[in-house]
Amino acid sequence: MMTKATALEGVVVIEAGGRGAVAVCGSLLAQMGATVVAIETPGHSPKAAHRAHYMAGKLSWRPDGGDARDRDMLARLLAQSDIVLASSDIDPAWLAPDMAHPRNVVCDITALGRNAASTDHPLSEMEVQALSGIMDTTGFPEEDPVPIRVPIVDAMTGGYAASAVLAAHRMRRRQGSGQVIDIAMFDAAFVALRSFLTSVLTSAGGDPSRLGNRHPTVRPWNLYRTTDGYVLICAGNTYAMFERLCRLIGRADIAPKYSTMKSRVAGTPEIDPAIEDWTSRFSTADCVERLLAVGVVAGPLVPVDDYPREANLDFREMILQTRDPVSGRSLFVSASPLRMDATPGVNLLRIPGIDGDRAEVERLSSRLEPAPAAAACASSGMKPLAGVRIVEFGQYTTAPLCARELAHLGAEVIKVEQPASAERIDTTITFRATNAGKKMLAIDLKNESDVELLTRLLATADVLLENLKPGTLAKFGFTPEALLKINPRLVYCPVSGFGTKSLYPTRPAFDMVITAMAGFMTVLSADGRPLKSGISTADLMGAIMATAAVLAALDHAQRTGEGQFIDLSMQDICAWLTQTAWNKALDGRVEPAVIKASDGYVFVEAGLPAFQQARARFPDLVPTQEAALDRTVADLTAALPRAGLHAVPVQTVRQAAMMPHTIERKLWSRKQEEGITAPILASPLRLPSTPSNIGRLASPIDHDRKEILAELGLPPPIDH
């Protein structure tokens, strides 16, 4: 039986950097079929803390920086590989990314950026959470901020880095020259706050407050106790759904009192206890069954022991088992969430021993061809996706953000909306900013002429990207098979909550439902209480992974002429995200400390025991937690390092947006058009030879119909 090719077959990647984000990027490239040589240096590095998961599917080599033969082999690998992944702010000098050949694609992943001012120590993943504003948005109302125990910034940064690398690799295929990519963890973390930044950057008011597991504007929306755990209920988006919930719980009297969203938010103190009075009488499974039966969005909270215990993850074969040769333990690991039918993702089951692949790496270095001279056209200004057409059926966050990143890389994006959506969404600031630079087209799938228009459009497209309810397009004849008949080169990427092939094909997929059913909220629990992150983790990671998958599929289509179907499940992605907490990895771990000051919070990664020990040695520098309430954040962050404690402020979203570093890196700007001022966030993908630029704010729905019809050779629209 012939095995299918992988998207990056034959591509050699040198994973030289020690940051966790570097390891995530290397893992994604390995899942796409690249040969990844991971250089393991003696001593601690962020990725070493989760070595078994981060090294799966890679070749391990531990070079001796003082050995001439190893230095020579390293030089050959760096000069003759395709891609080099580095983290120059923490790596030893002999692994500097500048050693790579100019033809190489070099991706340097640092905390603050390649040219950022140095700090007194290399910032960790959680310290970036604190500085960026992410930590301040996570936690329960009136309580302290909560660090996210999953390395979410590493995951987002590694995903963005994979996309940047694939875009630069595409450029090198076209032009023959490489480039050095600047990926900053802070950038990835900051732009993840887009739902908060829209209000912060357009208002002089206060910062967003921590909401626990509630939605800022929709109620009821929370976790509720059951007889054996928790159930998540998201029932406030329409009054009809809220009314059905009230009837189910035997409180029909409540519904008329709270007929508007504003009244339901104000009525939370009455509504939430009434719901929990009902849920506490049943098991989680009973609650979910009863709620779904009446059309109320609900889901269980999935426990994480050795892995997330959830039926759909088992159905999609996301949980695998392998052996770690270093510890000798049998471990549960995640399968690849990249379900690409023409270029299947590689399941990374083999975990190498430390330096276990030295002989294979030597053979590889001897087989690699010397790199040709770099082309002289690296700064031609051509975008990686110039000439690529993307049709987007995007709702809310995931598909629109993915398409936005692809537009940053030069793709033409045609955003399709149903006509009924126009008045509802096309004037909002968030919509205008998220869809800046896209062309706008209204398509009524029940209209025969519009179906013909869509068919003609898809025949000219390279990518169809959507996050509609699974089966929506198929219902109108646009099945994956039919789409490939229309256009054999088409990359079709639907992003759904539970996957196209799923136990829950019709279940609604809100971000919080996905994170609950992937185990993420269990891992993030604070004081034993399950908790969601302040940022929309499932939506954001779905967009990031879709961007990388589409870029890999486009590379394959360019080389072979073969399109493909990509089945991306946000539940798969979030489960994959939690791997560092599997196999009881968090048992006995010292939790970091968040210290409350008079004007905010300070984050100390060493944890409370180390904080207390430092206080015993340096009582003049390290106050008691009670005394810290009389000290400022600036005072504490200056004093604690003198006692040997790394300390950074837990910044609010507004503080992060206004800090000089954010302004210098131009991570946001304001754009004004037609009386609307909207904040525009920069892309974390920093490709110096093909910089991104911000187009016009999104136009009203169907603004570009006349132009699109003319290009497709169809009659112009009839004016009414």
Domain that holds residue 55: 12-193+326-372
Question: Residue 539 pLDDT > 90, yes or no?
Answer: yes
- Higher-confidence residue of 427 and 471: namely 471
Q: Which residue has the higher pLDDT, 394 or 547?
A: 547
Q: How far apart are CA 38 and CA 14, in angstroms?
A: 6
Q: Is the pLDDT of residue 695 over 90?
A: no
DSSP reduced 3-state for 5: coil
Does one domain contain both 17 and 151?
yes
Q: What is the mean pLDDT of residues 585-609?
A: 91
543 pLDDT exceeds 70?
yes
Residues 293 and 338 in one domain: no
Calculate helix-pair angle for 398-408, 537-560, nearest 10 degrees: 50
- Assign 243 a pLDDT band (cuts: 50, 70, 90): very high
The verdict on 247 and 141 lying in the same domain is: no
pLDDT score at 223: 96
- For residue 14, what are its two tokens? 């040198």
pLDDT band at residue 694, thresholds of 50, 70 and 90?
A: low
Q: Is the peptide bond before 505 cis (omega within 30 degrees of 0)?
A: no
Q: Is 114 inside a domain boundary?
A: yes
Q: Are residues 241 and 287 in the same domain?
A: yes
Q: What is the pLDDT of residue 528?
A: 87
Asked if residues 324 and 52 have their Cβ atoms less than 8 Å apart, the reply is yes
Same-domain status, 249 and 368: no
pLDDT of residue 3: 56
Which pLDDT score, from 0 to 100, does residue 693 have? 67
Helices (H), 443-536: 448-459, 480-486, 511-517, 520-523
How far is the C-alpha of 107 from the C-alpha of 157, rounded, in Å? 11
Task: Using pLDDT thresholds of 50, 70 and 90, give the confidence band for residue 685.
Answer: very high
Identify the pLDDT of residue 658. 95
Structure tokens at 428: 């909002």
Tell me, yes or no, whether 184 and 237 share the same domain: no
Residue 62 lies in a domain: yes
Closest-CA residue to 410 (of 695, 105, 81, 89): 695
Is the separation of the CB atoms in 491 and 458 below 8 Å? no
Residues 151, 495: Cα–Cα separation, whole Å: 23
pLDDT-derived band at 270 (thresholds 50, 70, 90) equals very high
175 and 30 belong to one structural domain: yes
| Mean pLDDT for the chain overall | 91
Look at strands 564-565 and 491-496 and give their pairing.
Answer: parallel
SS3 state of residue 541: helix
Instruction: Tell which wins on pLDDT, 76 or 603.
Output: 603
Q: 21, 52, 50, 40: which is closest to 122 by C-alpha?
A: 21
Residues 19 and 115 in one domain: yes
Least confident of 108-112, 153-157, 174-178, 309-313: 174-178
Answer yes or no: is 506 within a domain: no
* Domain shared by 255 and 164, yes or no: no
DSSP code at position 515: H
In percent, how much of the chain has pLDDT > 90?
71
pLDDT at 216 exceeding the cut of 90:
no
Residue 569 within any structural domain of the chain: no
pLDDT, position 1: 37
pLDDT at position 720: 46
Q: Which of 660, 669, 657, 664 is nearest to 694 (CA)?
A: 669
Q: Is residue 121 in some structural domain?
A: yes
| Residue 346: pLDDT over 70 | yes
352-374 mean pLDDT: 84
Say whether pLDDT at 690 is over 70: no
For range 53-64, the mean pLDDT:
94
Residue at 495 is within a domain = no
> Are 652 and 646 a contacting pair, CB within 8 Å?
no
pLDDT value of residue 692: 65
Decide if 356 contacts 325 (C-beta within 8 A).
Answer: yes
- Cα–Cα distances in angstroms (integers) from residue 126 to residues 123, 170, 593, 606, 638, in the given order: 8, 33, 11, 11, 19
- The answer to whether residues 215 and 236 touch, using CB atoms and an 8 Å cutoff, is yes
Residue 177 shares a structural domain with residue 273 = no
Residue 374 has pLDDT above 90, yes or no: no
Whether 44 has a pLDDT exceeding 70, the answer reads no
pLDDT higher than threshold 90 for residue 203: no
CA distance 172 to 405: 19
Please tell me whether residues 352 and 241 are part of one structural domain: no
589-593, 661-665, 674-678: which is most confident: 661-665
> Regarding predicted confidence, which is higher, 198 or 94?
198
Is residue 178 within 8 A of residue 14, CB to CB? The reply is no
Domain count within the chain: 3
Q: Please determine, for residue 426, whether its predicted confidence score (pLDDT) is greater than 70.
A: no
User: How far apart are alpha carbons 354 and 46 in whole angstroms?
Assistant: 16
Comparing CA positions, the residue from 622, 603, 604, 605 lying closest to residue 613 is 622
Residue 449 domain flag: no
In the predicted structure, residue 703 carries a pLDDT above the cut 50: yes
What is the rounded distance in angstroms from the CA atom of residue 499 to the CA atom of residue 339?
9
**pTM for this predicted structure:** 0.95
Whether 103 is covered by a domain: the verdict is yes
Q: Give percent above pLDDT 70 in the chain.
A: 95
Residue 438 pLDDT grade (very low, low, confident, very high; cuts 50, 70, 90): very high
Give residue 207's pLDDT.
Answer: 81
Q: What is the DSSP letter of 475?
A: G
- Final residue in a domain of this structure, among 634, 649, 664: 649
For the segment 701-708, the average pLDDT, to the nearest whole number, is 89
| 432-438-442 Cα angle (round to 5) | 85
Do 268 and 152 fall into the same domain? no
Q: How far apart are CA 516 and CA 224, in angstroms?
A: 12
Q: Specify the pLDDT at position 377.
A: 43
2 has a pLDDT exceeding 70? no
Read off the pLDDT of each residue in 311-330 and give the average, rounded to a whole number.
95
Token pair, residue 197, equals: 């930044």
Q: Which of 113-122, 216-225, 304-313, 531-540 has the lowest mean pLDDT?
A: 113-122
DSSP 347: P
Least confident of 171-180, 295-304, 330-339, 409-418: 171-180
Residue 421 has pLDDT above 70, yes or no: no
